[in-house]
Amino acid sequence: MARRDYLLGKFGIALLTLLFVLLLDFILFRVLPGDPIRAVIGRNVRISAEVQESLRAQFGLDKPVFPDQFVDTLGQWAQGNLGVSWSQRKPVSEILISKLWNTLLLIGLGQLLSIVLGAILGLLAGWKRKTPFDVGALTFSLIAWATPTFWLGIILLVAGSTWFGLPTGGIVSPENVGKPLHTVIPDVARHLILPTLTFTILYLGEYMLIMRSSILEVLSEDYILTARAKGMSHFQVLTKHGLRNAMLPMVTIIALNLGFTVSGAIYIETVFSYDGLGNLVQTALVKQDYPLLQGAFLLLAVSVIIANMLADFLYTYLDPRVKAN
């Protein structure tokens, strides 16, 4: 019962957030100066007044803005119709889908590496508190926290290309496009090294800090003292009691971090001209391609909202206290 209420609450928040994002995107689209018809057919297409009128009727723009047009727009979005990009003259949804997988690849790799490394290093740092290792780990994460993502990307780009001859941009070398997979995959991997490294360094620090403070919090609990008093070794206490309880905040943080992950992708893809959603957002911004920008925002926001909700559901399985409470 309690768990169902908790999940219903979380589901309600997700729904509310979703509604807010949809409404915001709709309003932002409407407050742009100029005729919304232009947003759909592109700025520089010449059409006669009659055609414009019939288009207005066809798109429902002669109806009141709220709720009729809002509901119409929601229907369009639900069918995947996000308008036409001004700069590329292609449907926004088509462009978004073509970039989605590249971004997922980068985010997935970066998250995986930073979570695993961060959890291990944070655990060790918390356990061996106030040793040189802990101080080093702490210093590293503080500096990583304070470093602008894009600037670290620039530094790694310069260092990686000068000293290791790594590619500075893109996802595959032009000469390898359309080649068989055994040529393409190593090339893509080489292109992924620097963006993934940037990603890992930045988020590693954060996960490490959270794991460290989480394990410190757990280690100050009385049941740890009890376990020690029972004669368990430090290592046993750490793995049997410490780690399990310390992992819980990590799950929440990973979910909450999805938003930051998207920010990271925008900066890193921009610096490395990596052909993904982040780079697309930046290009749309520079070219003032609003349909594309708002479509990308919609896709990113909705994905993060859904992923967050899934993480909340997962959390209830991991933490029995949520069930009982």
Partner 1 sequence: MGEHWTLFLRNIQEFWRTFRQNKLGMVGGFLVLVATLTAIFAPALTSYDASEIIRDSNNRALTFAPPSVHGILGTDDAGHDVWSQLVYGARISLVVGFMAGFIAMFVGSALGIVAGYFGGKIDSLIMRITDVLLVIPDLPLMLVLVATIRQMELKISPLVVLIIVIGLLYWTSTARLIRSQVLTVKERQFVARARAIGAGHWHIIRKHILPQLMPLIVTNTVLILSTAILIESGLAFLGLGDPTRPSWGTMLNFAFDRSAISNGAWWFYLPPGIAILWVSLGCILLGNVLEEMLNPRLTAHHLEGEAGMIAIAEAESKG
User: Which residues are near partner 1 by CB under 8 A?
Assistant: 13-14, 16-17, 20-21, 25, 28, 31-33, 127, 129-130, 142-143, 145-151, 154-155, 157-158, 213, 216-217, 219-221, 224-225, 228, 234, 237-238, 242, 256, 258-260, 262-263, 266-267, 270-271, 281-282, 285-286, 288, 290, 293-294, 296-297, 300-301, 304-305, 308
CA distances from 177 to 98, 173, 188, 200 (A): 16, 7, 10, 27
Closest distance to partner 1 from the beta carbon of 71 (Å) = 21
Q: Which is nearer to partner 1, 37 or 262 (CB)?
A: 262
CA distance linking residue 187 with residue 177, whole number of Å: 10
| Planar angle of CA 231, 232, 234, nearest 5 degrees | 120
Q: Which is nearer to partner 1, 32 or 184 (CB)?
A: 32
Which of 302, 268, 292, 300 has the alpha carbon at shortest distance from 95? 292
Are 69 and 59 in contact by the 8 Å Cβ rule? The answer is no
Closest distance to partner 1 from the beta carbon of 178 (Å) = 28
Burial class (CB in 10 A: 0-12, 13-18, 19+), 16: exposed
Closest distance to partner 1 from the beta carbon of 244 (Å) = 15
Q: Which is nearer to partner 1, 27 or 120 (CB)?
A: 27
Closest distance to partner 1 from the beta carbon of 241 (Å) = 10
State the DSSP string of 250-272: HHHHHHHTHHHHHHHHHHHHHHT
Closest distance to partner 1 from the beta carbon of 158 (Å) = 6
